[in-house]
Amino acid sequence: MASSSLFNTNPSFTFNPLFQNHAKIQTLFKSNTPISFNSVNQTNPLKFLKSKTPNCRNPRTTDMVDPVVFYLNKCKKKESERKDGSFSGIQDLLNLCGFGYWIQGFRCFPWLALNFHMANNLNMNPSTLQLVQNSANLPMVAKPLYGILSDALFIGGSHRLPYISIGVVLQILSWGSMALIPIASEALPILMTCVLLSNLGAAITEVAKDALVAEYGQKNKINGLQSYAFMALAAGGVLANCLGGFLLLKTQKLKSMFLIFASLLSFQLALSLKTKEESFCLPRSPNHHESISSSIKEQFSDLITAIKDDCVLKSLSWIVASFSMVPILSGSLFCYQIQILNLDPFIIGMSKVVGQVLLLGVTILYNRYFKTISFRKLIGTVQILYACSLLLDLVLVKQINLKLGIPNNVFVVCISGIAEIINQFKILPFQVLFASLAPAGCEGSLMSFLASALCLSSICSGFLGVGMASCLGITSVDYSNLPVGIGIQFLAALVPVFWIHNVPTSLPSDEKDKKTGLSKKRRKTRRVGRVVFNMVFVYRRERESEAQR
């Protein structure tokens, strides 16, 4: 730094250029101003000369600034410049990602219509319906690949917004085809192709949004952006289920619902194309040109290194096990409600609405109050509540609610979806944890790996539920063993509590807890600089991308 050369000499002696400028001194003594040397301060004779010669002002002696004050003022100036420059960035982020997460929650709108279409129009049995639902999530398993591509491969100098646009285009093609092409929604193979294409686009978009939120939050030291994303997602789910149930009850026009969702996706595409990634002040494409394969290999190496971190690995193993070992009977319960209890679509939709409202409220409470609770205690409590909430389905199947004077429709609307909502909320603290642990430059890869692991665990849970339903003989005409399956669910959900010690006790609170040095590529793109702090040289490391900004 420029200021470091100021202290390369002996700090006990301050060099004054006044002694070198003899002309100024001679002019001083040749002037007519009388000088009384008896009045000169003997301790500092230059003070007298300076008082008589204002033109001989010495900037080094009079304007000497403490290096600590100089450094702090410089940091404050940079901080104010950063805040002023990032104002438009935060607005663009809220508009783009806020609406994107809202659309992600609004995906319940076409899926509610699709579930009724497969159950009523295509006459699928519960196991087949659940098998189709879980098989459609297979593109979500490849999220780490999308995250690595998003981190390593820049498209037009950007590596987040282009992937959001690509994913939205794929969703528009799939839902638009099911709305406008009759065979696309009638033939099961073509229907599955459209659903897989839709989930592929949704997976790519979600990975890019999660990486953008994590990267922006780390750069601007904003913690907990994931909770606000959860709020937008829950708000979209509330409106989707409420509006979807109403339209299904009044119109029964499934394809119009597909078309409405495709139109909303078109608006999201226009918003993503209008937004410029430069407004977020994120790292740009590196100047050196590397082959795509080598860049992907290095990014993959960074991901493996991040996953091997003890806190990340243990937390990931716990949440994956807590999802995968519980056999889900969502298809059987859905068919039981519409075939045995004869509940209309509006009731099913309203049950989802109440659940999403509860998710929104719990997310707000977490953002304000639950963060102060021990992370391990919070996760353990949530898991126990999830296991107990599974027994609420047993109350409905055994019709205990009727004995208590609660009608089936009221019970389903108010209580039936609590277990699903608690299970969704359990993901939020882990998203905040992984976002805080994600190394710089590896946000997309690590967050997408978490999402992929959760998706794979939910698929395993769904397939396990299909196998259990087949073993228990649960079909569309025989639900006698459904209570036994619910009891097995309850016991399986309690098992992860016994190794809750793998979950960290608290979230990382400072930058010391984050891993920054990863691969050779990461070490190459860092440089060593010197900072003057109270006349002591302190070495710090700084990324080239930050130095350029």
Residues with Cβ within 8 Å of 137's Cβ and at least 6 positions away in sequence, in order, are 199, 455, 458, 459
Q: What is the mean pLDDT of residues 206-228?
A: 78
Higher-confidence residue of 489 and 130: namely 489
Q: Judge contact between 481 and 474, C-beta under 8 A.
A: yes
pLDDT of the residue at 511: 41
Is residue 260 very low, low, confident or very high in pLDDT (cuts 50, 70, 90)? Answer: very high
Asked whether the predicted pLDDT for residue 18 surpasses 50, the reply is: no
Which amino acid type is present at position 174?
S
Asked whether the predicted pLDDT for residue 23 surpasses 70, the reply is: no
CATH class of segment(s) 80-280: mainly alpha
Higher-confidence residue of 231 and 205: namely 205
Asked whether the predicted pLDDT for residue 480 surpasses 80, the reply is: yes
pLDDT of the residue at 175: 93
pLDDT of the residue at 3: 42
pLDDT of the residue at 264: 93
Candidate from 72-81, 103-112, 211-220 with smallest mean pLDDT: 72-81
Q: What is the mean pLDDT of residues 94-115?
A: 88
**Alpha carbon distances (Å) from 385 to 122, 123, 144, 381, 390:** 36, 35, 31, 6, 9
Is residue 340 very low, low, confident or very high in pLDDT (cuts 50, 70, 90)? Answer: confident
Higher-confidence residue of 93 and 72: namely 93
Is residue 517 very low, low, confident or very high in pLDDT (cuts 50, 70, 90)? Answer: very low
Candidate from 404-418, 452-466, 520-534 with smallest mean pLDDT: 520-534
pLDDT of the residue at 78: 53
Is residue 50 very low, low, confident or very high in pLDDT (cuts 50, 70, 90)? Answer: very low
Asked whether the predicted pLDDT for residue 492 surpasses 90, the reply is: yes
Is residue 339 very low, low, confident or very high in pLDDT (cuts 50, 70, 90)? Answer: confident
Asked whether the predicted pLDDT for residue 143 surpasses 50, the reply is: yes
Burial of 537 (0-12, 13-18, 19+ CB in 10 A): exposed
Q: Judge contact between 381 and 422, C-beta under 8 A.
A: no
Q: What is the mean pLDDT of residues 525-531?
A: 38
Q: What is the mean pLDDT of residues 427-444?
A: 81
Domain with CATH 1.20.1250.20 in the chain: 80-280, 292-504
Burial of 502 (0-12, 13-18, 19+ CB in 10 A): middle
**Percent of the chain predicted with pLDDT > 90:** 16
Maximum average pLDDT range among 64-68, 183-187, 315-319 = 315-319
Helices 188-219 and 143-152 pack at an angle, to 10 degrees, of 50
pLDDT of the residue at 541: 38
- Tell me phi and psi for residue 89, to 5 degrees: -65, -40
Is residue 102 very low, low, confident or very high in pLDDT (cuts 50, 70, 90)? Answer: very high
Mean pLDDT value across the chain: 75
Asked whether the predicted pLDDT for residue 456 surpasses 70, the reply is: yes
pLDDT of the residue at 66: 55
Asked whether the predicted pLDDT for residue 380 surpasses 80, the reply is: yes
pLDDT of the residue at 43: 47
Higher-confidence residue of 60 and 291: namely 291
Higher-confidence residue of 176 and 81: namely 176
18-23 long-range contacts (CB < 8 A, ≥24 apart) are: 18/46, 18/49, 18/56, 18/58, 21/56
Candidate from 73-87, 207-221, 367-381 with smallest mean pLDDT: 73-87
Q: What is the mean pLDDT of residues 223-236?
A: 79
Topology of domain 292-504, CATH: Growth Hormone; Chain: A; (1.20.1250)
The CA distance from 344 to 341, in Å, is 9
Q: Judge contact between 518 and 526, C-beta under 8 A.
A: no
Is residue 496 very low, low, confident or very high in pLDDT (cuts 50, 70, 90)? Answer: very high
Asked whether the predicted pLDDT for residue 455 surpasses 80, the reply is: yes
pLDDT of the residue at 8: 42
pLDDT of the residue at 493: 93
Asked whether the predicted pLDDT for residue 520 surpasses 60, the reply is: no
Is residue 56 very low, low, confident or very high in pLDDT (cuts 50, 70, 90)? Answer: very low
